């Protein structure tokens, strides 16, 4: 259930939902990296390009006009960082960080579920099937699914530069991690993915 603080958001749907996850998926408890907090503990969104979160080529995606990170963004974790998570900055920017799962919460802005707390959930589990609603995925996912050249072949999805799943392979081949396979695309409004992390 979403705790809407503004009546304009009363019909907002959660952008990530487990379809087949009873035995395959689980929410991993963690904390949002400190770089998403300002000195007064308020959420800093979006984390802009050039920041060390890791070094980004694009700002972390937020829902337009709400300044909120949506559920379904790819989260990364680096060895030795305990339970701290960051929004993925794309496979090309990974330096020891690996896609760990998908963000379970709305973070920051009008739909914030954290308040002054930093506790988040990250859904993970290979072979779990999730539904992701727009705009929490890159629109190129739907295009890739309908592309005739992909007929019969799984469409691999990667961590995009803004943290959303994308069908565009990274330029670098050294840190390529397939986060999910696309199972279905319903127009540009909804995709169904088979999680691989």
Residues 123-153 pLDDT 10s: 999 989 999 999 999 999 988 877 755 566 7
Which of 28-37 are b and which e, b meaning 16 or more Cβ less than 10 Å from the residue's Cβ? bebbbbeebb
CA contacts within 13 A on the Cβ side of 51: 21
Q: For residue range 83-106, what is the model confidence (pLDDT) as tens digits?
A: 889 888 887 766 677 899 999 998
DSSP letters, 15-61, are: SEEEEE-TTT-EEEEEEE-GGGB-TTS-B--SPPTTSBTTB-SSPPP
Q: Which of 66-70, 77-81, 91-95, 130-134 is the least confident region?
A: 91-95
Give the pLDDT band of residue 117 (cuts 50, 70, 90).
Answer: confident
Euclidean distance between CA atoms 194 and 197, whole angstroms: 9
Structural tokens at position 145 = 């699914």
Structural tokens at position 108 = 């920051």
By residue count, the chain amounts to: 197
Distance of CA 131 to the CA centre of its chain: 12
SS3 content of the chain, % helix, strand, coil (to 5): 10, 35, 55
């Amino acid at each position: 259930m979403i705790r809407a603080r503004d009546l304009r958001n009363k019909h907002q749907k959660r952008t990530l939902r487990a379809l087949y996850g009873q035995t395959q998926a689980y929410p991993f408890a963690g904390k949002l990296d400190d770089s998403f907090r300002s000195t007064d503990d308020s959420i800093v969104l979006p984390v802009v390009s050039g920041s060390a979160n890791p070094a980004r080529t694009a700002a972390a995606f937020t829902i337009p006009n709400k300044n909120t990170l949506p559920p379904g963004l790819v989260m990364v974790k680096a060895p030795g960082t305990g339970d701290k998570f960051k929004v993925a900055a794309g496979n090309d920017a990974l330096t020891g960080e690996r896609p760990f799962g998908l963000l379970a919460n709305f973070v920051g802005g009008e739909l914030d579920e954290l308040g002054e707390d930093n506790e988040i959930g990250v859904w993970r589990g290979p072979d779990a099937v999730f539904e992701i609603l727009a705009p929490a995925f890159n629109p190129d996912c739907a295009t890739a699914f309908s592309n005739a050249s992909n007929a019969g072949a799984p469409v691999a999805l990667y961590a995009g530069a803004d943290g959303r799943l994308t069908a565009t392979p990274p330029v670098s081949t050294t840190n390529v991690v397939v986060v999910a396979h696309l199972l279905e695309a319903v127009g540009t409004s909804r995709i169904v993915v088979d999680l691989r992390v």
